[in-house]
Amino acid sequence: MAVEMSMPILVVDDYKTMIRIIRNLLTQIGFENVDEASDGTEAFEKMKKQKYGLVISDWNMEPMTGYELLQRVRADDTTKTVPFIMVTAESKTENVIAAKKAGVNNYIVKPFNAGTLKAKMAAVLGDF
């Protein structure tokens, strides 16, 4: 199934600059419908109100981390199937394993480039 380029994507990060970077990269890739949240709590509230085609989330945020957001998303019937990519500086093996066990669809370690983001999105969503 072809990827709908107009699908809404939620970018979650507590650093505005990182949200801006990811938004620019997504725009360059061809995804213009980008929403943002500054932590897991705000992101989950938005996800309960709107259906997103993809969530791209940082890990280390307060008060709700990206890992807790992932767990909550997977535990909720209305959000559990939303594709979820973790983009984080957390690069320990235990982090990757914990994220995978929690149901992450892909994992990008910072710093990253547009090529990596596009490749991981394609791996999750299919080619576009």
Give contact residues for other proteins (rule: CB under 8 A). 17, 20-21, 24, 27-28, 59-60, 65, 67-68, 89-98, 100-101, 104, 106-110, 112, 116
Nearer to other proteins, 9 or 70 (CB): 70
In Å, how far from its chain's centre is CA 113?
Answer: 15
User: With respect to other proteins, which residue has the nearer C-beta, 78 or 123?
Assistant: 123
SS3 content of the chain, % helix, strand, coil (to 5): 45, 15, 40
For the bound state, the minimum distance from the C-beta of residue 19 to other proteins, rounded and expressed in Å, comes to 11
Phi, psi of 121 (to 5 degrees): -65, -40
